[in-house]
Structure 1
Amino acid sequence: MSHPTVPARPAARHGWAPALAAVLTGLAVMVLVATLGLLAAGAAALPDGAFPRVVAATVVTAVGGSVDITGDAGVFAETRADLTALPLSVTLVGALVLGAGFLRPLRYRAVASARELAGWAARIAVLWLAALTGLAFAARQTFALDVGSGTLGDLTGLLDATPRVGFTADVPLTVLFGLLWLAGTLLVALLVARGAPLPGRLLRRQEAVRPAAHAMLELILAYVLIGVVATLIAAAAHGHVAAMFALLLLGLPNLVWLAVTVGLGATWHGRVEGPFGLPVPHVLDAVLRTPDVSALNLRSLTAYDGRMWWLVVVDAVLLLVVAFRMAVRSPARVRLWQHALHLAVALALNVLMMCLTGRVSVHFGMSLLGIGDLGGGLSGELFLDPRLWQAVGLGALWGLATGFLGGLPARWVRRRRAVHAR
């Protein structure tokens, strides 16, 4: 008696056309999110038709590119500005879409050679390099700042010192860091996707990496989803809808990463000075807007608002949930202490990524006739910097504890499944 055979799924092709589709889709989504966020932030009112170039600069910085800010105010004045911040909403969306595009032609496969994976990644990299270079050349503009009609306006007009600010993408650095970002995105996509093919020699290693990597992806997406809900509730309750949507579409993960690490017990140092209107919880602005550098941690936040202890509760609950899911997905031979170690390493690396990408440094100022920084909205400073290794160490400790505790009920679930299977 013959049995009908199930036709095998055809192997997906991963040539230049799918690579082009993956790159264009990723860039299109990043440009769309950046455009909507900048529109909500009021960037459409920038003079000299600068808006499209600001969008290009935002996408460039989202993938780690370098944008230099320049200033000019004539022979009697000096302007200076610097900006170090990643629009992580754009970064995260781009990574998710590009990673999915990279994995799509590889579905229905169990094994792929290292040469095949490298060739497929190289096609995407070549097209990504071309697109990123074009964006970097487009990300440059100079425009005048409106200083108002008061005394400052009269002085700048009299001395021909009207400030002009410009930005220019550093093309070589943008290409370098953009390619590194792409390589990291594709590598993480391979590690996170449980069904993605790997070279045969690495299949035995995946049980120690993939469940923990997938748990970190679930953790990140859960935190971002909570941030989205909280932002929408705040917009409905307190107004400022445009500012809230600008935060949502440009920098929500920046705020989420801060909340996550503070909930783990980490400390950030920061300061806000000048006319920055931050669309963030009032307690955060209150702690940072001081004459000296402030320590931002659970102690300083709860001194203003005792409800900030909920950050610890949210961290604990989500980590226990992902630890349980990681243990359930792992092979039965993985021991409890190994679950704890795997989650500790994964969470420490995740916290390291959050701290490195969540740093913010913004400064701008103008001096006239050598007399300091002028006020009137033309000077300000904002910076936020973590105690890096303290945060990473706390992440490892939390990972050990929650990995062990989350693995305990997973063993009971596995035993129940084994009993029912008999």
Structure 2
Amino acid sequence: MNQQPPDRAPARRAPHGWTQALSAVGACLAALVATAALGVWAAGTEGLPAGATPRIVVAVVVLAVGGTVDITGDAGPLAGTRADIAVLPLSVTLAGAFALARGFLRPLRHRAVTDPRELTGWAARIAALWAVALIVLAVLARATFTISTGGTLAEIGELFGTTPRAGFRADVPLTLLVGLVWLAGVLLLALAVARGAPLPAPLLRFQEPVRPAAYAMLLLLMVCVAGGALAGIVVALTRGHPAETFAVLLLGLPNLVWLALTLGMGATWDGRAEGPFGLPVPQMLDAVVRVPGGGAVNLSTLAEQDARVWWLLPAAAVLLLAAALVTAARTPTPLPLWQHSARMAVALVLTVLMICLTARVEARLGLSLIGLGDLGGGLGGTVSLLPRIWTALGLAALWGLVTGALGGLFAGVLRTRAGSRLGG
């Protein structure tokens, strides 16, 4: 008697409703706030007015997702300050991005293909909750408090009976717009990088040419961050000032190590630091950007301060070659070397473009007295670190073509040896 095989149970799909969307957004916010709070605490909160720290933490979170925070101050009708800041605390950004990507991909696992409407609906739920969170963050990222200071502002206050005040506030519409763009970028990158993430059937043809290179670029960036974190911990333990070092690690580590990666590839950044404040950067970099009128930041100018900076060149070469090898090894179908070169070049150009757009720094502080405009004397200042984008992208394309070909060649040799061992 033939026994009929039991019917297979239909594949169970992981739920991805509002509860799961709330969990993903909540995990992202928790990661953002925790990292920002630790960074602000390490940077020092003893000199801040009472109750200012939580608002500053929220402002850092707003900056981390691409939002805008304006800083203003005044000493009554006679004096005022204004600061324009454009900087991403990328350590905070990375923490939130990884938490959000994990929450987004978790309900989609265990499947090879997903329906476009299903994927769009899942992303829309997260976007709706994220929009609410952005509005709340932008509203909370504002404060005004009295400051105690010496010098010109204090004298003005004593003479005219005015109290110096300072404050900041987030731009709600712009934060909402840019924050949603940030969300879309994180979700698209998660789908592009994750090997097991399902794609709609029309997009499956892009899986092989995109995912190996995207994964290799993410791995390249994270290796840089890991190396920088290890170096930072060693510096904190051996050279003093551990709080300041950990503040940099918790707020801007990727800003520094990704800058170093582009410098190792030969890129040039234009730096400028004038006034009483500067960048939390190594001393040799600060020395280059503090020359009158600013200075070009590259391997040559930095080597004038410390010759060890030349090690960035071989370090970048090794990392890029390893990334090309990973790309070729994860490509299931053997390809001609020119295709390996082209894919690596495109991936590296996009990666360097991302670094140029996110690691740039622009900050300007101005003081005006009785409407006379910006005054010098060390009361105002400018800090900037901006890439020469087209040069950086051209070098990235060149590095990608060369390392892509070498990576494809090495991967082919390894496959041949593995096949001969199996055949033997």
Q: TM-score, normalised by structure 2?
A: 0.94
Hey, what does 1:209 align to over in structure 2?
210
Give structure 1 stretches of 5+ with no counterpart.
Answer: none
| CA offset digits 1:359-413 (Å, max 9, x no partner) | 111121323343853546x433211111111111111111111111111110011
Q: For 2:360 and 2:146, how far apart are their aligned partners in 1?
A: 28
The code of the aligned residue for 1:141 comes to: A
Aligned ranges for residues 92-171 of structure 1 at < 5 Å?
92-148=94-150, 153-171=154-172
CA distance in 2, matches of 1:295, 1:415: 46
How far apart are residue 204 of structure 1 and its match? 1.9
2:76 aligns to what SS in structure 1?
coil
Any idea what SS the aligned residue of 1:43 has? coil
Once the 2 structures are TM-superposed, how far is the Cα of residue 159 of structure 1 from its aligned partner? 2.6
Tell me how far apart the structure 2 counterparts of residues 270 and 309 of structure 1 sit (CA, whole Å).
19
Counterparts of 1:150-229 in structure 2, within 5 Å, are 153-229=154-230
Quote the residue 2:384 is aligned against: 383
Q: Provide the residue aligned with 1:416 in structure 2.
A: 417
**Residue in 2 that maps onto 1:305:** 306
Alpha-carbon contact 1:368-1:374 (below 8 Å) kept: no
Deviation at 1:151, TM superposition (A): 6.5
Contact 2:75–2:153, Cα closer than 8 Å, also in 1:
no
> What stretches of structure 2 of length at least 5 have no aligned partner?
none
SS of match in other structure, 2:304? helix
Deviations 1:238-288 (A, max 9, x none): 111111011001111111121111111111111112232644221111111
Query: How many residues were matched structurally?
Result: 420
Contact 1:266 1:387 in 2 (8 A): yes
Q: Cα distance, 1:342 vs. partner? A: 0.5
CA RMSD of aligned residues (A): 2.0
Q: What is the aligned counterpart of 1:64 among 56, 63, 66?
A: 66
Q: Secondary structure at the match of 2:130?
A: helix
Return the letter of the residue paired with 2:198: P
Aligned equivalents of 2:70 and 2:374: distance in 1? Answer: 22
**2 CA distance for matches of 1:396 and 1:43?**
44
Partner of 2:362: 361
Percentage of identical aligned residues: 57
CA distance in 1 between partners of 2:308 and 2:398 (Å): 24
Q: Compared with structure 1, are the counterparts of its residues 191 and 235 closer, same or farther at alpha carbon in structure 2 (3 Å cutoff)?
A: same
CA contact (8 A) 1:56 1:135 kept: yes
Counterpart CA distance in 1 for 2:377 and 2:6 is 81
Q: Per-residue deviation at 1:57?
A: 1.0
What does residue range 76-91 of structure 1 map to in structure 2 within 5 Å?
Answer: 76-91=78-93
- Matched residue SS, 1:383: strand
The alpha carbon displacement at 1:206 in A equals 1.1
Alignment of 1:261-340 (within 5 A): 261-276=262-277, 278-340=279-341
Residue 12 of structure 1 corresponds to: 14
Q: Does the Cα contact within 8 Å between 1:72 and 1:164 map onto a contact in 2?
A: yes
Give distance in 2, aligned partners of 1:321 and 1:333: 18
